[in-house]
Amino acid sequence: MFGNFRKLQLWKSSMNLTTEIYKLTRNFPEHERYGLSSQMQRASVSIPSNIAEGFGRESTKELLRFLYTARGSLMELSTQLEICNNLGYLSEEEHSCIQRLADEVNRLLNGLIFSKKKLRSSSGT
């Protein structure tokens, strides 16, 4: 157990990203409701959920596993954003706004992974 995940800027930013994805996908074509919209919503929800779950685990190794899963979901979401952009579902402004949020989450997530890996290697666990 690693403390209160709700205080992490990473978790807050990933929650913001998820909220924006839900708002964005409301405007997608109806035929994407169970396709791209649903997939993007699930990928975005997975990011803060895995961060939170990792913080409830007992070891740094377990925490890292959940952080890697969150990063995988973020990469999945980034790919889906590119697909949406290619299909014309997003304005340039929407795409760049969401991409900025995703980039911020990526930067914070990679920083936390790096620091936990460094801590783990220095402690030998």
Residue 101 pLDDT > 70: yes
CATH number of 5-123: 1.20.1440.60
pLDDT at residue number 1? 63
Asked if 44 and 62 touch (Cβ cutoff 8 Å), the reply is no
This prediction has a pTM of: 0.93
Apex CA 62: angle with CA 56 and CA 66, to 5°? 75
Asked if 41 and 22 touch (Cβ cutoff 8 Å), the reply is yes
Would you mind telling me the total number of residues written for the chain in this entry? 125
pLDDT digits (tens, 9 = 90+) for 55-98: 999 999 999 999 999 999 999 999 999 999 999 999 999 999 99
Residue ranges of domains in the chain: 5-123
Residue written as tokens 């007992």?
58
Asked if 46 and 80 touch (Cβ cutoff 8 Å), the reply is no
pLDDT digits (tens, 9 = 90+) for 20-50: 999 999 999 999 999 999 999 999 999 999 9
